[in-house]
Structure 1
């Protein structure tokens, strides 16, 4: 299970505020298919919200613990029937090197246009 510092957790909660739930856990509970879908969403987005349709708080806490344990993720927040889960994506060393090179070459200011002189 991934551990987060309180500062990281606070920043992730702020990032998750505007997100919509991408996975729902319904009456069948946390099935293998739901876990696979959560894994796919974590690979794509890193930070996701999960809606749990059930009235038992104990069930929701158990789902959150099981998700984090099985998918090597971190629990960011459990508020009401929403669970917020984070798992950092894989770091590709070649992409990081190429990304740094292209970032240096990019212009940060507005594009200049050629001026025509009348004389």
Structure 2
């Protein structure tokens, strides 16, 4: 579980990132979850864009992505989901320490 300070740090880091995945009409599927999971292992922090034609509620999409990828939800702002999962091999981000 991320602390408030850690989430703020991740939000500021993710601010400059562009979404690398889009959830469209089909919603979230197993293939998408596998690809996002691989990308999280490589990058640790990424954005997913939810398109206007997505039939599923954005909160539900975020929840499905978090469950499927075992990642932390950093932020859901507008139609953009920011996800974080610590990488096992490619550790890049150093989070602020928990108190």
User: What TM bracket, shorter-length normalisation?
Assistant: 0.7 to 0.9
Partner residue in 1 for 2:50 = 52
Is the 1:22–1:41 contact (alpha carbons within 8 Å) kept by the matching residues of 2? Answer: no
Structure with the bigger RCO (C-alpha within 8 Å, sep 6+) is 2
Partner residue in 2 for 1:18 = 16
Larger radius of gyration: 1
Q: CA RMSD in A?
A: 1.8
User: 2:57 aligns to what SS in structure 1?
Assistant: helix
Question: What is the alpha-carbon distance in structure 2 between the residues aligned to residue 22 and residue 29 of structure 1?
Answer: 16
Partner residue in 1 for 2:94 = none
Question: TM-score if structure 1 supplies the norm length?
Answer: 0.69
Shift of 1:70: 2.1
More helix by share: 1
Structure 1 segments, 4+ long, off by >4 Å, are none
Question: What is the alpha-carbon distance in structure 2 between the residues aligned to residue 86 and residue 53 of structure 1?
Answer: 20
May I ask how many residue pairs the two structures share in their alignment? 89
Shift of 1:54: 3.0
